[in-house]
Amino acid sequence: MFESFAEIQRDIAERLGAASANRKLPMQSPVVATADADARVMVLRAFDSEAWTLRFHTDLRSPKCGVIGDAAPVGVLFYDKPEKVQIRVRGVGRIEHNTPLADQAWSESTNFAKRCYLGDGPGAASDVATSGLPDWAEGIQPSDEQVAPARANFAILLIELQELDWFHLANSGHIRAQFSRVGDDWEGRWVSP
């Protein structure tokens, strides 16, 4: 089935591209780990198959933004249980806030999603269970004017991929391949699962 590096690279690109466009696919919500050994589930918003970059949305006040900054190692774990495919990637992450790409990501988001950046910052302490949103924003789709202040807290995490690890579980025998970026190309190698 998967007998060449080209097939596997194509599979990785197709899975990541599909996951960024379809919220029902399991790979749309991977685990993202930062250099401080903190990990969290995030929603994959975009995959650029030409540049091999991943894009996620985040709150600028989140501790991970301070850890990542302009350039830091980031790892991402994708798993598709029905297909029995695991993809682990490593790359260099950067946080963008006041850039054209961040502006575009903000403009493409729904007001319902934008409202998440209105409330308290991630990790803010509370005496009661809370979404962190202002009371008036609970359960509604706010207007453009109501979400405008949230833009100050919105950022994107871009990860330029440097290493790929593809693992397919199969009764007939697991298959695993790894790739390292060499300039604009990828160098593949077979490894034991």
Mean pLDDT check: name the lowest of 1-10, 80-89, 161-170.
1-10
The confidence score (pLDDT) of residue 2 equals 79
Residue 56 above 90 pLDDT? yes
The answer to whether 150 and 61 have CB atoms below 8 angstroms apart is: no
Contacts of 112 (CB under 8 A, 6+ apart): 141, 142
Across the strands, what pairs with 72? 93
121: which DSSP letter?
A: P
Domains annotated for the chain, with CATH where assigned, are 5-190 (2.30.110.10)
Count of Cβ atoms closer than 10 Å to residue 182 Cβ: 9
Give the residue, 137 or 58, on which the prediction is more confident: 58
Mean pLDDT of the chain: 95
* Radius of gyration of the chain from its Cα atoms, rounded to whole angstroms: 18
pLDDT at 1 over 80: no
For residue 46, pLDDT beyond 90 = yes
Read off the pLDDT of each residue in 34-39 and give the average, rounded to a whole number.
95
What digits encode the pLDDT tens for the residues 128-150? 998 888 888 888 889 999 999 99
The structure tokens listed for 29 are: 């919500």
- Structure-token match 């330029």, residue found: 160
- Alpha-carbon span 118 to 121, nearest angstrom: 9
The percentage of residues in the chain with a pLDDT greater than 90, rounded to a whole number, is: 86
Token look-up 């599909």 returns 18
Pick from 85-94, 120-129, 141-150: least confident: 120-129
Outline where 111-190 has alpha helix (H): 111-114, 144-147
Q: What is the mean pLDDT of residues 156-167?
A: 98
Q: Tell me the mean pLDDT in the region 162-181.
A: 95
pLDDT at 47: 98
